[in-house]
Amino acid sequence: MKIMVGGTFDPLHDGHKRLLSRSFQLAGPKGTVIIGLTSDRFASQKVHPVRPYEKRKEELTRFIEESGFQAAWSVEPLEDRFGSALKIDFDALIVSEETLPVAMEINTLRRKEGRRKVDIHQITCVLADDGRWISSTRIYRGEIDPHGRVIG
């Protein structure tokens, strides 16, 4: 199975790890996972600072390699919300509750361009100790750490 997933992944937190792990699980040992990693230009639109693309890619690569996932994988720059998802053939998008609307829009645009719809698999966001979603914004604000532990 060929899976696509995307994000800024900065900092790489437990929610991202769940998203990536599910992507590799669905791909299976003979599948492929394509990871769209937001480019520096696209990531600059975030409300919090974002480390350079190469630093984020290094951390992402280290997590994947240390996790021992069996599927083939690649990382490609994501210049907009859709990346190559409108142009290439693949089987499924893996998204969080937060990014589900983008996946639905991708399928609408694919259908308009005569491409087949892809399956959408939504994970549940990981909750921090305070019961709210773990997010990069909350980590950068100093509210929680990458594992969702409340700081202070």
pLDDT in tens, 102-148: 999 999 999 999 999 999 999 999 999 999 999 999 999 999 999 99
- Please provide the DSSP assignment of 64-127 as one string: HHHHT--SEEEEEEE-SSSGGGGTS--SEEEE-TTTHHHHHHHHHHHHHTTPPP-EEEEPPPPB
Q: Give the number of C-alpha atoms closer than 13 A to the C-alpha of residue 42, restricted to the C-beta side.
A: 16
- Which pair of tokens denotes residue 117? 């719809």
pLDDT recorded at residue 95: 97
What residue segments make up the domains of the chain, in order of their start?
A: 2-124
- Which pair of tokens denotes residue 77? 């720059």
Segment holding 36, helix H or strand E: strand 32-38
Torsion of CA 121, 33, 4, 88, to 10 degrees: -130
Residue 48 has pLDDT above 90, yes or no: no
Domain 2-124 has CATH 3.40.50.620: yes
Q: Give the number of C-alpha atoms closer than 13 A to the C-alpha of residue 15, restricted to the C-beta side.
A: 30
pLDDT in tens, 74-96: 999 999 999 999 999 999 999 99
